[in-house]
């Protein structure tokens, strides 16, 4: 059976069908590295660089001349606008909807044409896209003539997680269309873990040439040095992993994430951008100490690409994007297998090796040396908003911010605030006046001494802003406190001076909210008296 792949990317969706023995005849994407990667791994396929929206709206003659009749069509329209990681799910969806409807129009044109051959079609995207795909589309919805209705919500439509099909990644996606329900191969008791991926590939700096057995395809073995994009290290600078750890484990009211990665489970969802110092950063421990990012090959194996699959990007970033945007081949294989069984087709008994297009230049990351990044100074008008670290009690936290500054005229103002909860309906900000007699008397001397000691390391609002904009090394050289250092000092003071039982107590104050956790009052009092001097 023939397969056409729209928004084909680097070929993950097609790869599962290739492994299942299907005849892939056509693919299209508008991103050059994706088209090149597809060609490099599937040189026998007619893959073109083109705009799917343009193709969907071609006149009938041109459309049929370009897009061959196929029994199966698959597609994965770009999902960035639907992802919850993009502006917390509030990104503009109009382009994403346009791309989805272009794909569905192509399905309709092939399904409802005279003498159609299309039997199965699948659309893959992030789970949130479900709310933007209608159950039915009429001919008029696509600007077409006729009385047909394209139904998208079949019995097989729904959410699927790649980890249950053997991929070592926790990647949930929404599938809809007309296809048999794919059968899971794994359950929560036998998932493939991140540690298994790392163990199978070994130390990225290994110099031996012994065989590597693919964790996803056990009958695929390659000599170590023939596994591309694996033998290098991208080590993180101290400031990068410190930032990433803070965002992962102390990001406001969000839950804690593992730092470094929890390797006893499948990998978290692989992202298209392999950032170093964000909440979504995927960070591993280095065998030599410190922390590093995964190699392109490691994340490709997490996504269940075979180790003989090549990514034809001209940079590390491009290769990561090719991997992170893909459909995991193990998931697409499960769909292909379900179709093959429904059609009574035989599938290959072993993994079919890839034959690359030798005419395409390939940039291999093996042996590349990536220098550790140097911390840069922040802009003079950089904004700051953060709380006393790891101190959220009964949904209260103490926050330090310069958001009320006159940034245009570089007149800086630092404020301490008490924040409560989050969300439009629950979130509140308090700036009460706390007096010395509001505090437990046994802590007054220590609090006073701490305030005096830390005040001496801050030379005023403008100087505090300058310290914030310096690098960590620059601050250390002049013994200035920056905002993060000050907040950290306050947290250490609270942990050292206030015992566990006292931390559970509450205090009454005159201003709203009148009752606050004791440690929140102490932290707010200290921060206010230091920065409001």
Assess whether pLDDT exceeds 70 at residue 82.
no
Assess whether pLDDT exceeds 50 at residue 88.
no
Q: Which long-range contacts (CB under 8 A, 24 or more apart) does 481-484 make?
A: 481/454, 481/457, 483/384, 483/386, 483/400, 483/402, 483/414, 484/386
Whole-angstrom distance, CA of residue 62 vs CA of residue 55: 9
pLDDT on residue 85: 46
CA angle at residue 95 from 91 to 97, to 5 degrees?
95
User: How does pLDDT run across 298-322, given as a tens digit for each residue?
Assistant: 999 999 999 999 999 999 999 999 9
User: How does pLDDT run across 452-462, given as a tens digit for each residue?
Assistant: 999 999 989 99
Pairing of strands 72-75, 2-6: parallel
Where does the pLDDT of residue 375 fall: very low under 50, low under 70, confident under 90, or very high at 90 and above?
very high
- DSSP E strands in 273-383: the ranges are 284-285, 291-293
H or E element in which residue 67 lies: none
Assess whether pLDDT exceeds 80 at residue 390.
yes
Kindly compute the dihedral angle of the four CA atoms of residues 53, 59, 62, 67, in this order, to the nearest 10 degrees. 50
Mean pLDDT of 182-201: 98
User: How does pLDDT run across 106-124, given as a tens digit for each residue?
Assistant: 999 999 999 999 999 999 9
Give me the phi and psi of 31, to 5 degrees please.
-100, 120
User: How does pLDDT run across 56-73, given as a tens digit for each residue?
Assistant: 999 999 999 999 999 999
Look at residue 250 and give its three-state secondary structure: coil
Whole-angstrom distance, CA of residue 362 vs CA of residue 511: 67
Where does the pLDDT of residue 81 fall: very low under 50, low under 70, confident under 90, or very high at 90 and above?
low
Give me the phi and psi of 271, to 5 degrees please.
-95, 160
What is the secondary structure of 388-442 as a DSSP string?
Answer: STT--BTTEEEEEE-TTSBTTTTB---EEEEEE--STTT-EEE-----GGGS-GG
**Per-residue tokens: 488:** 């950290």
Whole-angstrom distance, CA of residue 364 vs CA of residue 226: 10
pLDDT on residue 92: 67
User: How does pLDDT run across 450-493, given as a tens digit for each residue?
Assistant: 999 999 999 899 999 999 999 999 998 888 899 999 999 999 99
Whole-angstrom distance, CA of residue 287 vs CA of residue 324: 25
pLDDT on residue 91: 56
Q: Cβ distance 156 to 179 under 8 Å?
A: yes
pLDDT on residue 478: 85
Task: Enumerate domains of the chain plus CATH numbers.
Answer: 2-186+329-343 (3.40.50.150), 385-531 (no CATH)
Alpha carbon 301 to chain centroid, angstroms: 16
What rounded mean pLDDT belongs to the chain? 95
CB neighbour list of residue 118: distance below 8 Å, 6 or more residues apart: 69, 70, 71, 72, 73, 107, 110, 111
User: How does pLDDT run across 12-29, given as a tens digit for each residue?
Assistant: 999 999 999 999 999 999
CB neighbour list of residue 45: distance below 8 Å, 6 or more residues apart: 14, 24, 25, 26, 27, 38, 39
What is the Rg, in whole angstroms, of the alpha carbon atoms belonging to the chain? 28
Mean pLDDT of 328-357: 97
What is the secondary structure of 87-110 as a DSSP string?
Answer: GGGTS--HHHHHHHHHHHHHHHHH
Question: How many C-beta atoms lie closer than 10 Å to residue 146's C-beta?
Answer: 12
The lowest-confidence range among 214-223, 394-403, 497-506 is 497-506
pLDDT on residue 86: 44
Mean pLDDT of 174-180: 98
**Per-residue tokens: 358:** 């030798």
Q: Cβ distance 389 to 399 under 8 Å?
A: no
What is the secondary structure of 481-525 as a DSSP string?
Answer: --HHHHHHHHHHHHHHHS-HHHHT-EEE-SSTTSEEEHHHHHHHH
pTM: 0.92
Whole-angstrom distance, CA of residue 211 vs CA of residue 200: 10
Mean pLDDT of 75-102: 73
Q: Cβ distance 479 to 457 under 8 Å?
A: yes
Whole-angstrom distance, CA of residue 103 vs CA of residue 97: 10
User: How does pLDDT run across 230-265, given as a tens digit for each residue?
Assistant: 999 999 999 999 999 999 999 988 899 999 999 999
pLDDT on residue 203: 96
Whole-angstrom distance, CA of residue 73 vs CA of residue 488: 55
User: How does pLDDT run across 36-50, given as a tens digit for each residue?
Assistant: 999 999 999 999 999
Mean pLDDT of 362-369: 98
Residues marked as catalytic: 79
User: How does pLDDT run across 395-442, given as a tens digit for each residue?
Assistant: 999 999 999 999 999 999 999 999 999 988 899 999 999 999 999 999
Assess whether pLDDT exceeds 70 at residue 84.
no
pLDDT on residue 147: 93
pLDDT on residue 314: 97
What is the secondary structure of 144-165 as a DSSP string?
Answer: --SS-EEE-B-TT-EEEEGGGG
């Amino acid at each position: 059976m023939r397969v056409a792949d729209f928004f084909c990317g680097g070929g993950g969706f097609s790869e599962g069908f290739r492994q299942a023995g299907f005849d892939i005849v056509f693919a299209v994407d508008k991103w050059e590295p994706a088209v090149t990667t597809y060609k490099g791994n599937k040189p026998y396929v007619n893959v073109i660089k083109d705009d799917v929206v343009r193709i969907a709206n071609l006149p009938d003659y041109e459309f049929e001349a370009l897009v061959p009749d196929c029994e199966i069509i698959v597609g994965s329209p770009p999902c960035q606008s639907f992802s919850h990681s993009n502006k917390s799910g509030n990104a503009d969806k109009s382009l994403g909807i346009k791309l989805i409807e272009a794909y569905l129009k192509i399905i309709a044109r092939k399904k409802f044409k005279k003498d159609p051959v299309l039997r199965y079609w699948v659309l893959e995207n992030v789970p949130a896209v479900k709310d933007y795909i209608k159950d039915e589309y009429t001919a008029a919805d696509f600007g077409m003539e006729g009385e047909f209705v394209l139904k998208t919500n079949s019995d097989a439509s729904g959410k699927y997680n790649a980890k249950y099909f053997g991929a070592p990644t926790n990647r949930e996606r929404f599938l809809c269309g007309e296809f048999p329900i794919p059968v899971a191969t794994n359950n929560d008791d036998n998932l493939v873990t991140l540690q298994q991926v790392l163990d199978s590939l070994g130390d990225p700096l290994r110099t031996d040439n012994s065989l590597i057995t693919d964790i996803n395809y056990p009958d695929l073995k390659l000599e170590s040095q023939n596994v591309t994009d694996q033998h290098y290290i991208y080590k993180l600078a101290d400031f990068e992993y410190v930032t990433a750890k803070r965002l992962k484990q102390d990001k406001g009211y969000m839950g804690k994430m593992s730092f470094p990665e929890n390797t006893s489970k499948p990998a978290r969802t692989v992202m298209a951008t392999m950032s170093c110092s964000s909440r979504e950063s995927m960070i591993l421990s280095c065998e030599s100490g410190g922390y590093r990012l995964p190699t392109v090959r490691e994340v490709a194996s997490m996504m269940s690409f075979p180790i003989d699959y090549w990514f034809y990007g001209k940079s590390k970033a491009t290769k990561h994007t090719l991997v992170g945007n893909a459909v995991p081949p193990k998931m697409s294989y499960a769909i292909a297998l379900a179709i093959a069984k429904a059609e009574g087709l035989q599938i290959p008994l072993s993994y079919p090796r890839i034959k690359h297009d030798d005419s395409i230049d390939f940039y291999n990351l093996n042996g590349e040396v990536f220098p550790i990044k140097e911390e840069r100074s922040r802009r003079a008008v950089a904004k700051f908003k953060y709380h006393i670290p790891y101190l959220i009690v009964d949904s209260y936290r103490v926050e330090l911010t310069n958001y009320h500054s006159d940034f245009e005229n570089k007149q800086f103002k630092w404020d301490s605030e008490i924040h409560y909860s989050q969300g439009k309906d629950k979130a509140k900000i308090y700036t009460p006046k706390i007096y010395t007699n509001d505090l437990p008397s046994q802590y007054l001397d220590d609090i006073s001494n701490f305030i005096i000691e830390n005040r001496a390391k801050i030379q005023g609002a403008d100087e505090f802003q300058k310290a914030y904009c310096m690098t960590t090394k620059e601050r250390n050289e002049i013994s200035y406190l920056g905002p993060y250092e000050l907040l950290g000092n306050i947290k250490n003071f609270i942990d050292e001076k206030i015992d566990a039982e006292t931390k559970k107590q509450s205090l009454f104050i005159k201003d709203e909210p009148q009752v606050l956790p004791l440690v929140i009052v102490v932290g707010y009092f200290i921060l206010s008296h230091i920065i409001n001097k």
